Amino acid sequence: MAQRRFLAAAAHASPVLLDKAATLEKVRDLVGEAGRNDVRLVGFPETFVPGYPYWLGLYAPIAQAGALRELAEQSVVIAGGDLDGVARACAEHRVNVVLGVSERDGGTLYNSQVFIDSSGTLVGVHRKLQPTLSERSVWGQGDGSTLKVFDMPVGRVGGLICGEHSMNLARHALILQHEDIHVSSWPTFATLKGMEDWFDPHVDALSKVHAYTGACFVIVAQDPITRANLERIEQMLGPQDLLAAGGGRSAIYGPREEFVAPPHTGPEEKLVIGEIDLDRLQAARLQHDSAGHYARAEILRLVIDTEPKTPLLERSGS
């Protein structure tokens, strides 16, 4: 049975860009910090390991080949044991984690969230259904087989990544699976020219809508852009003046669109901690249960194709 009341956190932190080993060490340290503060669930930003490739929209595609090879090399191979140390830390500190990673599976990269419970068990992976804009040159598309909510010791936990929150049916798919806690993994574009006044209100609006329509808690985790990570990008690809250091806005929302943990912004790294009380969800769902009495299933129904998509389909000769 899920623990009804506990502390959760958004990891407001930055990776060591394109350094998988160092960033995984940072993840383990944050899990340890969470355990020492009696935090039972931590959500991480988008592709925290080995860092979000902010350069995608800053340089011509033809110039990015070397950087993309480096991203592939430093991406997480789940079957190869890259996350074993994180799993051990989760078990040691009794912390559940939703970790954003750039995942490598064969020759393809995926923008993924990995769900690891407090026993150290990998309970599931969600792959971003539709990479956004220039991301399509890097990551493959996920499929419906990973659009799931997972049973964890803290409740039914789901998540989406960045622009997926604009896919209303993807959000609704998780709501229909009785999502209690939603981990919303983002980078930050609050310091990108032309998006300074738009990005944070955009994320805030989507988070409130999901918290209210899903009658769930929403953990928003973003990574501020460090000067060191910007320098790493410019060492690979040259000077640019579109993206600046800074940004990042992490928070936890309750089912009435209120802040359980108010937004933390800027370069200071911290666990943004708030209390989750699952017993609050029943009252919210009595008003609007989008997976029940407020669904009108005889009029509106969502069909999800959950078959894993693969180019190889084997059939017996019989």
Catalytic residues: 46, 128, 162
Quick one: DSSP state of residue 56? G
Nearest to 103 by CA among 133, 135, 74: 74
SS3 state of residue 249: strand
Question: Can you give the C-alpha Rg of the chain in angstroms?
Answer: 19
CA-CA distance, 220 to 10, in Å (whole number)? 6
Neighbours of 126 (CB within 10 A): 28
CA-CA distance, 44 to 221, in Å (whole number)? 5
Residues listed for the chain: 318
- CA contacts within 13 A on the Cβ side of 310: 8
End-to-end CA distance of the chain: 45
Instruction: Give the burial string for 135-154 (b: 16+ CB within 10 Å, else e).
Output: beebbbebebbbbbbbebbb
CB-based contacts of 175-179 (< 8 A; 24+ apart in sequence): 175/213, 175/214, 175/216, 175/290, 175/291, 176/290, 176/291, 176/295, 176/302, 177/148, 177/149, 177/291, 178/149, 178/291, 179/149, 179/214, 179/216
- Work out whether the CA dihedral 146, 149, 151, 154 comes out positive or negative: positive
Dihedrals phi, psi of 124, to nearest 5 degrees: 175, 165
CA-CA distance, 14 to 223, in Å (whole number)? 5
Quick one: DSSP state of residue 235? H
